[in-house]
A and B are shown apart, each in its own frame.
Chain A
Amino acid sequence: MSHQRVENFMPVRILLVDDHPIVRQGLRTLLQGRGDWEVVGEASDGVEAVDKVESLRPDVVVLDVTMPRMNGLEACRLIQQKRKNSGPEVLFVTQHDSPQMMREALDAGARGYVVKSNAARDLLEAVESVSQHRIFTALARIPEVPS
């Protein structure tokens, strides 16, 4: 359990990280349907994401890969290093529809990986899964999960 959240009683706190505000707005809109989830903040790059994880203590970080200043993979590694055992779960939402990138994301400590073109279909299920510490991965073109 992350950050003293009492599962099933407190809302899942979510941090959205993407360099495009319009994408963050789209993610927000998708997540709005769940009353038991709360978007607690937004960040536009990896540096800001790492800072906001410290200050906002989210349960789930929805993270883009390709961002200025610090990319999502590096941010994910830093988040995991800084907050060992008590850190948030990281879910990547990225345009990179590649098994190599997915492997890299999981190696960096992410719990989930969703391709942006399918985010509208996969996001809710992915957040649900990672918030319960289960792995969720879905590529658009290649369905198999790397072993």
Chain B
Amino acid sequence: MKLRILLADDHEIVRRGLCALLQKHEGWEICGEASDGREAVEMAKRLKPDVVIVDIGMPSLNGLDTTRQLMQHDPQFKVIVLTITDSDQVIREALDAGARGFVLKSDAARDLVSAVEALQSKRMFFTPRVNDLVLAGFLDKGHVVARNEPPNLPTLTVREREITQLLAEGKSSKEVASLLNLSTKTVETHRSNIMRKLSLHSIRDLVVYAIKNNIIQIQMPTQMSAPTETTVA
């Protein structure tokens, strides 16, 4: 029986690349492709894939919250998070969310097949940097304490995180309500709760909060007319 993989990335060009890479592997098939987190959750519930690969920076519902929702629905889901950064905060959030694999997008061509193979064998797959962080957590008591500290988003529910992302992406309460099949009044209530819990006073504050906490990702500016040696992320 073939291993069924669901891909979620907002860029079709990346999905094409991932498909080409994974379909070379005998015994694997791409059972679905999603272009945002919300679609990924819906498809995963319906298709019940063996492995879900999610990009961390998707619109509408980011990869971390997609992972949280999937794990909340069924802790047996095996999720690999694809990311452009392996900062400590992102690693911790991915682990907390329940990801079993963590692959840098820049290394996906090299690591993704190994990551899927690992999950197929009921193991986990992480980049060397994640392994170092996890190991440090075991060796360094202080590090373990740090991991047990309340996460950066301690008080927001899954629904509130969803709404935070949508509001930070510029959607109105009415648009959010329509997307989530809620009444505008319910969304307004969530919105008030979010602002109160996070001690925020404006949408601008909310956007800054969302960026700082990896709920949304912004495009890094490239220096125009850059000098030859300029390195841009």
Is B225's CB under 8 angstroms from A73's CB? Answer: yes
User: In the assembled complex, how far is the CB of residue B30 from the closest CB belonging to chain A, in whole angstroms?
Assistant: 13
Closest to B82 in A: A22
User: In the assembled complex, how far is the CB of residue B59 from the closest CB belonging to chain A, in whole angstroms?
Assistant: 10
A19 and B233 CA atoms in complex are apart in Å by: 10
**Cβ < 8 Å to B, chain A residues 7-46:** 19-30
Chain A interfacial residues counted at CB < 8 A? 33
Given A101-B222, A104-B224 in contact, is the A29-B108 Cβ separation under 8 Å? no
Q: Per-residue CB proximity of B41-53 to A under 8 Å, as 1/0?
A: 0000000000000
Is B226's CB under 8 angstroms from A73's CB? Answer: yes
Decide yes or no whether B16 CB sits under 8 A from chain A.
yes
**Cβ < 8 Å to B, chain A residues 53-111:** 65-71, 73-74, 93, 95-97, 100-101, 104
CB within 8 Å: A-B pair count: 96
Is A25's CB under 8 angstroms from B226's CB? Answer: no
A26 and B12 CA atoms in complex are apart in Å by: 8
Is B219's CB under 8 angstroms from A96's CB? Answer: yes
Q: List 28 A-B contacts (CB under 8 A).
A: A20-B14, A20-B105, A22-B17, A23-B14, A25-B16, A25-B20, A25-B21, A26-B15, A26-B17, A27-B17, A29-B16, A29-B17, A30-B16, A65-B222, A67-B232, A70-B230, A71-B223, A71-B232, A73-B222, A73-B224, A73-B226, A100-B224, A101-B222, A104-B224, A104-B225, A117-B11, A117-B12, A120-B16
Decide yes or no whether B106 CB sits under 8 A from chain A.
yes
Is B224's CB under 8 angstroms from A22's CB? Answer: no
Residues of A within 8 A of B222 (CB): 65-66, 71, 73, 96, 101
Decide yes or no whether B18 CB sits under 8 A from chain A.
yes
Is A24's CB under 8 angstroms from B228's CB? Answer: no
Residues of A within 8 A of B220 (CB): 66
Which interface residue of A26, A65, A116 has the most chain B CB atoms within 10 A? A26
A contact residues vs B (CB 8 Å cutoff): 19-30, 65-71, 73-74, 93, 95-97, 100-101, 104, 116-117, 119-120, 123
Is A66's CB under 8 angstroms from B232's CB? Answer: yes
Closest to B16 in A: A26
Is A26's CB under 8 angstroms from B231's CB? Answer: no
Given A26-B14, A120-B16 in contact, is the A21-B230 Cβ separation under 8 Å? no
A30 and B16 CA atoms in complex are apart in Å by: 8
Given A66-B220, A101-B224, A117-B11 in contact, is the A23-B17 Cβ separation under 8 Å? yes
A43 and B94 CA atoms in complex are apart in Å by: 31
Given A71-B226, A73-B225, A73-B226 in contact, is the A19-B106 Cβ separation under 8 Å? yes
Closest to A32 in B: B20
User: In the assembled complex, how far is the CB of residue A76 from the closest CB belonging to chain B, in whole angstroms?
Assistant: 11
Residues of A within 8 A of B18 (CB): 22, 26
Q: Per-residue CB proximity of B19-31 to A under 8 Å, as 1/0?
A: 1110000000000
Closest to A97 in B: B219
